[in-house]
Amino acid sequence: MDAEQLMTRYRAYLLLERGMSENTRMAYMADVEKFAAWAAADEQCPSLLGVKEEHLQAFVASLHDVGICARSQARIISGLRSFYKFLRLESLIDTDPTALLESPKIGLHLPEVLTVEEIDAMEAAIDMGKAEGQRNRAIIETLYSCGLRVSELVNLPMSRVSLQDRALIVDGKGNKQRMVPMSESAVAEIQLYLSTRDVQPKRGEEDIMFLNRRGRRLTRVMVFYIIRDLAELAGIDRPISPHTLRHSFATHLLEGGANLRAIQMMLGHESISTTQIYLHTDTRQLRQEILEHHPRNRP
């Protein structure tokens, strides 16, 4: 079986067996294709089915040589582990060459977080005289108050939003549904947006909540630009993205005393270990509070 046939079967496995989103599937496929291209150019490397651990180690070393950072290397290795696990499950190989492959050590990356005042400043920076002004206010409140991923926001159906019950249902990673409560602010901003929305949805977009001026759903890139531009107008000089609002949602909940397991459910994290990064963020802020207010640290 050649590499192209393996890729076709692996792509179907990711979709049908793993239920991954399109973006995740593309990332996993890109990791394996990167390795397949490297292996094809190396005369000493056998076919993908004959790869040994030493070949994978040489590939990882090549990533380091071309300047790919440790975090990206770790992600690529994760993609290769998934691929060779698939080959093992399909009985196409007898042993998994990634079993003993080590990922590079990466430091803990604490997410950027906005203060409530900075989020308010971003909303205040919106030009409400423009047609998209109220839509953008609703977008910020929905991202922040519900902790949505940008992909969940742009694909949010109106039929999954209950303003009366103040809750919405989203399809998260792996097509897993979860219900998220909505804040009063998010409900109010969405109500205003829907009452003033005057665009005609294109065919197939009739149930989509957030539309552009041509009646189509927004792209993730478009939302990124909206958030970035508003942050700049609000005087925020740090790199800000839609995901920053999601991080802020989780961090503010934790600071307010919310249970970590409840935050995990609202974020749609499969593992509690993913949510635990916000404990580190909270600890960092606690340390700063101690340094500022403890009597032994005062001049």
Report the C-alpha gap between 76 and 278 in whole angstroms: 25
Catalytic residue from among 55, 246, 247, 252: 246
- Does 84 participate in catalysis according to the annotation? no
- Does 52 participate in catalysis according to the annotation? no
- Does 243 participate in catalysis according to the annotation? yes
Cβ-contact 73, 81 below 8 angstroms: no
CA atoms within 13 A on the CB side of 238: 9
Catalytic residue from among 18, 85, 228, 243: 243
Catalytic residue from among 135, 137, 252, 269: 269
Catalytic residue from among 25, 173, 178, 216: 173
Report the C-alpha gap between 91 and 84 in whole angstroms: 10
- Does 149 participate in catalysis according to the annotation? yes
- Does 130 participate in catalysis according to the annotation? no
Catalytic residue from among 55, 135, 137, 149: 149
- Does 238 participate in catalysis according to the annotation? no
Report the C-alpha gap between 98 and 123 in whole angstroms: 48
Burial of 51 (0-12, 13-18, 19+ CB in 10 A): buried
What are the catalytic residues?
149, 173, 243, 246, 269, 278
